[in-house]
Structure 1
Amino acid sequence: MKPFCFALDQIINSENASMHPMDIGLIRGYAVFDFFRTTNYSPLFLKDYLKRFTSSAKKTHLSLTLDTKQLESVILELIKKNDLKEGGIRMVLTGGVSENHFSPDKGSLYIFCEELLLPSPEKYNKGINLLTVDYIRPIPEIKTTNYALPVYLSADWKSKGVEDVLYHFNGIISESSRSNIFIVKDGLISTPKENILLGITRKRILEIEPTIVVRDISLQEVLEADEVFISSTTKRILPITQVDGKNIGKGIPGDITKSIFEKFLSLEKESAY
């Protein structure tokens, strides 16, 4: 964590930030967050992330005392104070301390800056492996802090050569634990439409490639796809070359995935705040 953060109502030294031990963000796991990157001191796609964060707060009945302009001002000040040229910024709004220790109350807002490590060149060049899991993330349209299942499962990912999970239910896929997913078959790109977080990177990919079809996708279609890739803030566009240890297509990153990645990198440069 970088030296300065925003905690409760002001920018302070990060080591002095604290949360009440009875906050339901801690004892019930009820909180929302969002995360975005900076490049050359500019927060990428900031307005999109702030819109999603404020929407998450409203949908989860959490009180957010700062409006988007005030949040933006705090973020820009944190970037300056932390000299955050290339890094990550995390916004967290907790469920608060309630009388019954269960229902949402006035929560606490935290914004802090982090070092950020993007995937290694090897992962972009060779692709990664996902492990399928029968699961739907609770209230998937909201970016909550509830990552209990994938964190639990991650204990043996390294030994299995797995990067993350792919959720599916009744034969239909939804998302990875921290990413949206796309498949390519016979030149046509598709991405799931339900039980997903509407990712900001996903949104940009849909703008880059307006012919992408948003629909239900079966797990079998993933296994039979020519190419598969995931998208997220921290991964950008990352090729999936194996699912459950089985090769996708030729088992190497495909040309369409590479093309979208290059277009997204260009969009990043154009869209710096």
Structure 2
Amino acid sequence: MQQIYLYQNRLIPLTQVHISPEDRGYYFGDGAYEVFRVYNGILYETEAHFTRLKKTVDALRIKLPADHTALTRQLEELVRANRLQEGIVYMQITRGTAPRVHAFPAGAEPVLMAYTQPLARPVATMEKGISAVTTEDIRWLRCDLKTLNLLPNVMAKQTAVDHGTGDVVFHRSGTVTECSASNMMIVKNGVVRTHPADNLILHGVTRAVVLRLAQSEGIPTQETPFTVEELLQADEAFITGTTVEVTPVTSVDGKPIGDGRPGAVTRQLQQAFEAAIPTA
């Protein structure tokens, strides 16, 4: 079965998708993107993803070609066309095609593209956890915008690979922000803590889901900064994200977090997340 893409407002085979070499996404990373999770053929937390996308494109001054309702319908058609049950939908929109100049080009039409990718749930890593390594966060100061400028995150992920760990933990002068493609949370004395949703972190959809689930489970939460030292002294740690769900972090910089095993609060939140997954 040939992969079907959403290109502008049409569903077409991959072989018919043609991206111009003058697309500003290619020149400048001038665009935004979203990654939607699909469970049992159903798009998950769609409204939250589109709210974040709208925030990013508004900040970038790129106009979406259709509203939330129409785009959701198109993505649902894309999922059905590719018979996707478990996986992701990647969608991006660039400022459009124009000769290479830094200023916004007059008359450029935004280019939207989306595709699906089968992806199993991260069962093994959620069960046993991952290790991580810390690195200084020297990215720009609008990490809340989900733009195509991801080279710092790519370099960070490679740092994790080079160290034989599952991810990096970014920090700014010792204050933990997030990870290469996920949000960071710790548990201390039964309280879940995570960095505030400001300009220094991506406002993760799964992050918001987990904080909401914690409230429903009676688990106290605090959106307050914490340091690398506090991370190393935490009882538990875990990351949240569209593709990682709720994944325990069992060691950082070679030092165990708590007893070096996934903790009770993390397990409780994993179970709550599991129960919230939509069924067909």
TM-score, with structure 2 as normaliser: 0.90
Residue in structure 2 matching 1:114, options 117, 122, 129: 117
The aligned amino acid for 2:277 is: E
- SS, match of residue 152 in structure 2: helix
- SS, match of residue 161 in structure 1: coil
Task: State the superposition RMSD in angstroms.
Answer: 1.9
Q: How many correspondences in the alignment?
A: 270
In the alignment, structure 1 residue 174 sits paired with structure 2 residue 183? no
**1:200-231 alpha-carbon deviations (Å, 9 max, x no partner):** 11111111123310011111110110100000
* Separation of aligned partners in 2, 1:45 and 1:152: 29
Residue in structure 1 matched with residue 267 of structure 2 by the alignment = 258
What does 1:1-273 correspond to in 2, within 5 Å? 3-104=3-104, 105-121=108-124, 123-138=125-140, 139-155=142-158, 157-193=160-196, 194=198, 195-210=200-215, 211-269=220-278
Q: Is the 8 A contact 2:22 2:100 kept in 1?
A: no
The aligned amino acid for 1:130 is: A
* Separation of aligned partners in 1, 2:161 and 2:2: 28
The aligned amino acid for 1:224 is: Q
Q: Is the 8 A contact 2:144 2:202 kept in 1?
A: yes
The aligned amino acid for 1:4 is: I
Q: Structure 1 residue 9: deviation in Å?
A: 3.0
* Separation of aligned partners in 2, 1:14 and 1:52: 27
Structure 1 residues 39, 189: CA separation in 2 closer, same or farther (over 3 Å shift)? Answer: same
* Separation of aligned partners in 1, 2:73 and 2:2: 18
The aligned amino acid for 1:41 is: G
**1:103-143 alpha-carbon deviations (Å, 9 max, x no partner):** 3443210111112133241x222211111111154311111
The aligned amino acid for 1:201 is: T
Q: Structure 1 residue 184: deviation in Å?
A: 0.5
Q: Is the 8 A contact 2:122 2:244 kept in 1?
A: yes
* Separation of aligned partners in 2, 1:152 and 1:15: 30
Q: Is the 8 A contact 1:96 1:107 kept in 2?
A: yes
Q: Structure 1 residue 2: deviation in Å?
A: 6.5
- SS, match of residue 70 in structure 2: helix
Q: Structure 1 residue 258: deviation in Å?
A: 0.5
Task: Give the share of equivalent positions with the same residue, in percent.
Answer: 29
Q: Is the 8 A contact 2:132 2:160 kept in 1?
A: no
* Separation of aligned partners in 2, 1:176 and 1:95: 27
* Separation of aligned partners in 1, 2:189 and 2:201: 24
Q: Structure 1 residue 153: deviation in Å?
A: 4.2
* Separation of aligned partners in 2, 1:154 and 1:64: 30
Q: Is the 8 A contact 1:62 1:106 kept in 2?
A: no
Q: Structure 1 residue 85: deviation in Å?
A: 1.5
What residue ranges of structure 2 are gaps of 5+ in the alignment?
Answer: none
Q: Is the 8 A contact 2:206 2:242 kept in 1?
A: yes
Q: Structure 1 residue 80: deviation in Å?
A: 1.4
TM-score, with structure 1 as normaliser: 0.92
What residue ranges of structure 1 are gaps of 5+ in the alignment?
Answer: none
Q: Structure 1 residue 99: deviation in Å?
A: 4.8
Structure 1 residues 29, 2: CA separation in 2 closer, same or farther (over 3 Å shift)? Answer: farther
